[in-house]
Structure 1
Amino acid sequence: MTTTGETPQAPATPTRTPTPAPPPSPLRLPAFRRFVLAQLVSAAGSAMAPLALAYAVIGAGGGAGALGLVLATNTVPTVVFLLVGGVLADRLSRSRLLFLGNLLAAAAQGVLALVVATGHAGTGAIAACGFVSGVAVAFTTPAAQGVVTQLVAPGQLQQANALLRLPTNAVKVVGPVTGGLVVAVGGPAWALGFDACTFAVAALLLLGLRLGAPATRTSALADLREGWSGFWSRTWLWTYTAAGTVLVAAWLAGYQLLGPVVTEQEYEGARTWGFIQGAFSLGLLAGAVVCLRWKPERLLTVAVAASSGLALPLAGLAFGLPLPWLLLSAVLAGITLDVAGVAWVTAFQQHVPDGELGRMSSFNQVGERLAIPLGYLVVALVSSAFADRSVLLVCTGIIVAATLLNLCVRDIHRIRRVE
């Protein structure tokens, strides 16, 4: 009841800020759908290629040494030419670079399929085709990092990156099995020929994107120097790359190299290893699904922390855990790896200017690819002196230590989502 004679006023109704509508799915964009389809088609062939390549070398009379030489000639040119590919990705049309790179890969795999089918596939010829394929990867990898930012809005980047990984991860589950059947029934030439066809189809799809080229006013060498300065000035970027180099080396040495050896000695050999690889691939697929729903604020913190999940299957093998626990650890490792990958790529695309994406990507990729021969070389040197399980424990510790040290970098936690 009032005593002043004034009419009482009803309490004001608080105004509610409308919840912003979520951004539309990137799949509504025709250009993005074309890019996803190109990636899926290419991945379908690439999933069969490693097995077909191995049996092509074996069929030519080569052994482990010859296969190692072929793999090296595929990896080395990628590392050597990545920086060139990064500079070009910031100067030329990225869709045109992807078109030319896929066309080059199609030609290399087509020639390889032909020489294998005609019985003229010596180690030298296979290695030469692998060299050309490695060069193609060096030019397509940096360009692919920047294409997504030209196709979708910043708020759609994480969803776009997850959608790109979802079908390719699904292919990783069924691709090796299908490739094995193709090689068993028709021989490696058929699988290699299929891989060549998928690269050609992907090239035609990418040709239709017709993305513009970033504006440049300096020389290529000046671009490279400027790129290095930009890379070094971003503490979060070079520390993530350095930690990733160590982490990837430990992961590849423990999982790819010692995993088959330990399962052969302690479990049921190829059968157990096949189950573990299948569980890991299913984890990758599940991780992509998680990234479609979960959008963390601190993207880079999530990317670094999730990478530690790779230690789980290595620790399981080192301690001789039963198969169900090994399979669970492999699934969890796959989930965390894909979450880390999507979070990292999204943070990278949102916090690096479009005109620098190619060069920054190439510097990061050089670091991670150098880890491949590094990890294999170190394990080869120490495996004769120490038990395989002990080396696996060391690899586990390195992954955990690299993750914890990277989490101590303050700049890592400053990289937040941009909507």
Structure 2
Amino acid sequence: MTTNDIGTGTGTAAEGSTHTPSPLRLPAFRRFVLAQLVSATGSAMAPLALAYAVIGAGGGAGALGLVLATSTVPTVAFLLVGGVLADRLSRSRLLFLGNLLAAAGQGALALVVAAGHASTGTIAACGFVSGVAIAFTTPAAQGVVTRLVPAHQLQQANALLRLPTNAVKVVGPVAGGLVVAVSGPAWALGFDALTFGVAALLLLGLRLGAPVAKGSALADLREGWSGFWSRTWLWTYTAAGTVLVAAWLAGYQLLGPVVTEQEYDGARTWGLVQGAFSSGLLAGTVVCLRWKPERLLVVAVSASSGLALPLAALALGLPLPWLLLSAVLAGITLDVAGVTWVTAFQQNVPDAELGRMSSFNQVGERLAVPLGYLVVALVSSAFADRSVLAVCTGIIVAATLLNLCVRDVRRIRRAPSRNGGTRLETRNRERTPNS
């Protein structure tokens, strides 16, 4: 394998090898993993600190909802711009600037809260900055792994990236709660800003080269849409994912705490459910380190249906042990779905298009956040919570089954061809010149 193969992620020399060395042997990949871990450590504490910063400023649920919306809207609005830039500029430089911007936003918020001058408006303004940063870093991050590891190591690399992040999700909120309780939200927000700054410096050291831009940014965007639409497996997965994520967020994030308060032991039960789910995420990452299915996209789509399990358990009012088991299984299947999906995406989209294809996919799934919350807000007054949970369960199952009916989803295979794409991707490129 040549140095160029390692740089582009399209090497095939070791594809048939029975022993695959760990991507952690590659210094650049280790640096990327460390940057992700550092950033995730601060981000795991931030939601709790943000909530208490809003409360400390005299706000309630409405103010917190406004702050969260203010951080979400710019992400959706600027994702397509971030995708175009990720295919025109150095992705490592974009990640550096994005993390630096996030550090500035969280740092300003920490200072405002510490000085006692926080208000819903100032908190929302800092959240807007963070939302813009996410819009530029998300598409760039999708295309970094393919530059750091060869194609046959992509699934292992994606799993290794998620392993420390999922571990932090288990302990991060607890640590954040302790910091907020002892020192106040400003310290937790300041720590989050510091982790973004450290991650930025680590990412700057990757020094990935920039692609050669041939046309205007608008032309790149049009070409990206043509490429996205020509890949049936990609846009159908995005459409199904938007519906599925909306149903999951509506059932789990909104109705989950409400139902556990009414039917179980309130906050204690919900804390156990979230802990079980996080433990499942960790277990799913371990599964992906060992299991390498050939039909990546079929596995990703099928595994997504596991999110229906805790919703069904809540709808049926099952005893707590069964509810916890369903949460663990949902976490396992979600992480398996995430790793196999990202691997299939990276192996079947050319490196020059990864940023734009990722941004189109992310726009669809992020639109599910307000969609799910809005639908539940409209129907919750007319229907019982358990009935809404049952409907959300059915939507997840239906979206999964319909997506599995798409022929191109079933045709995606693991083994890449010599040019770094699968035979399906080669046919797509031949059929659609703009893709």
Match of 2:82 in 1: 85
Amino acid at match of 1:135: V
The SS at the match of 1:282 is: helix
Match of 1:7 in 2: none
- 1:112 and 2:102 equivalent? no
User: TM-score, structure 2 length as denominator?
Assistant: 0.92
Match of 2:158 in 1: 161
Match of 1:347 in 2: 344
Amino acid at match of 1:109: Q
| 1:172 Cα deviation after fit | 0.2
| 1:66 Cα deviation after fit | 0.5
The SS at the match of 1:47 is: helix
Match of 2:407 in 1: 410
When the two chains are superposed, the root-mean-square deviation of aligned CA atoms in Å is: 0.6
Match of 2:224 in 1: 227
For residues 372 and 415 of structure 2, the distance between their equivalents in structure 1, rounded to whole angstroms, comes to 35
Amino acid at match of 1:353: P
Range with bigger deviation, 194-203 or 212-221: 212-221
| Superposed counterparts of 1:6-155, under 5 Å | 20-155=17-152
| 1:22 Cα deviation after fit | 2.4
| 1:21 Cα deviation after fit | 3.5
The SS at the match of 2:176 is: helix
The SS at the match of 2:117 is: coil
Q: Indicate which of 214, 218, 233 corresponds to 1:236.
A: 233
Amino acid at match of 2:283: A
Match of 1:190 in 2: 187
| 1:216 Cα deviation after fit | 1.9
| 1:215 Cα deviation after fit | 2.0
- 1:170 and 2:138 equivalent? no
Q: Indicate which of 252, 255, 258 corresponds to 1:258.
A: 255
Match of 2:390 in 1: 393
For residues 312 and 289 of structure 2, the distance between their equivalents in structure 1, rounded to whole angstroms, comes to 29
For residues 336 and 228 of structure 2, the distance between their equivalents in structure 1, rounded to whole angstroms, comes to 24
For residues 399 and 109 of structure 1, the distance between their equivalents in structure 2, rounded to whole angstroms, comes to 35
For residues 327 and 134 of structure 2, the distance between their equivalents in structure 1, rounded to whole angstroms, comes to 28
For residues 245 and 18 of structure 2, the distance between their equivalents in structure 1, rounded to whole angstroms, comes to 39
| 1:418 Cα deviation after fit | 2.3
For residues 218 and 296 of structure 2, the distance between their equivalents in structure 1, rounded to whole angstroms, comes to 32
| 1:20 Cα deviation after fit | 2.6
Amino acid at match of 2:377: A
User: TM-score, structure 1 length as denominator?
Assistant: 0.95
For residues 48 and 118 of structure 2, the distance between their equivalents in structure 1, rounded to whole angstroms, comes to 16
For residues 146 and 17 of structure 2, the distance between their equivalents in structure 1, rounded to whole angstroms, comes to 22
Amino acid at match of 1:46: S
Match of 2:13 in 1: none
For residues 20 and 242 of structure 1, the distance between their equivalents in structure 2, rounded to whole angstroms, comes to 36
Q: Deviations over 1:245-271 (max 9, x none)?
A: 000000000000000000011111100
For residues 329 and 260 of structure 1, the distance between their equivalents in structure 2, rounded to whole angstroms, comes to 16
Q: Indicate which of 267, 282, 288 corresponds to 2:279.
A: 282
For residues 97 and 226 of structure 1, the distance between their equivalents in structure 2, rounded to whole angstroms, comes to 21
Amino acid at match of 1:219: S
- Matched residues, number: 401
Amino acid at match of 2:75: T
Match of 1:291 in 2: 288
For residues 413 and 389 of structure 1, the distance between their equivalents in structure 2, rounded to whole angstroms, comes to 34
Unaligned runs of 5+ in 2: 1-15, 417-435
For residues 60 and 164 of structure 2, the distance between their equivalents in structure 1, rounded to whole angstroms, comes to 34
